[in-house]
Amino acid sequence: MELIAATATLARADASDRPRFAALLQCKIPPSWPPSVLADVQEYFAEQLEKGFALPGWWSWYALERATDGAGRALIASAGFAGQPDAEGTVTLGYSVAPGYEGKGYATEIVAGLLGWTASTGQVRRVFATTFERHIASVRVLEKNGFICRGVSSEDAGASDADRQGRGKLMLFAREGL
């Protein structure tokens, strides 16, 4: 697996030019791209990077899988942060694996890689993430990476029934001491 930090050029191509995006990443883009949770924010991500409101590394990352069958590498996931660390050294992490690639341990590996990257910056002391209580796979990804459930997120009230998909309350997880 390879993690590549989004730049303004990559994010713009992701939002509007799939062939260019594939060429820039030198990979196959699956028909299931982007994951549904990213489809409505791709333009926003591109704008944040283009305007300099977000710095590469502190926003979006692309995860590429190296195929073992000689077919080349494929884009399998996106992950990242909601901006640079705040004054207390806190960032918020999110991740999404493209349909067809779930359940293979990629999300666990991606989160571990990003936690390692944040630790190497020396700027992060705490990482928050949210997921629904009955989204067991996502809960396990966070637990495997040392996150502790802190209870119901303050953002739970804003979660729509479509977002919940029967998965219960939106829970807040934290990883301290990076």
Total Cβ atoms within 10 A of residue 94: 18
Residue ranges of alpha helices (H) inside the chain are 8-16, 18-25, 36-39, 42-50, 106-121, 136-144, 161-164
Check residue 156 and give its pLDDT: 84
**Nearest-angstrom CA–CA distance, 162 and 30:** 24
* CATH code (residue 154): 3.40.630.30
Total domains present in the chain: 1
Check residue 165 and give its pLDDT: 79
Check residue 69 and give its pLDDT: 61
Given a cut of 70, the residues of the chain with pLDDT beneath it are 67-71
* Owning domain of residue 112: 2-176
Check residue 61 and give its pLDDT: 95
Check residue 68 and give its pLDDT: 62
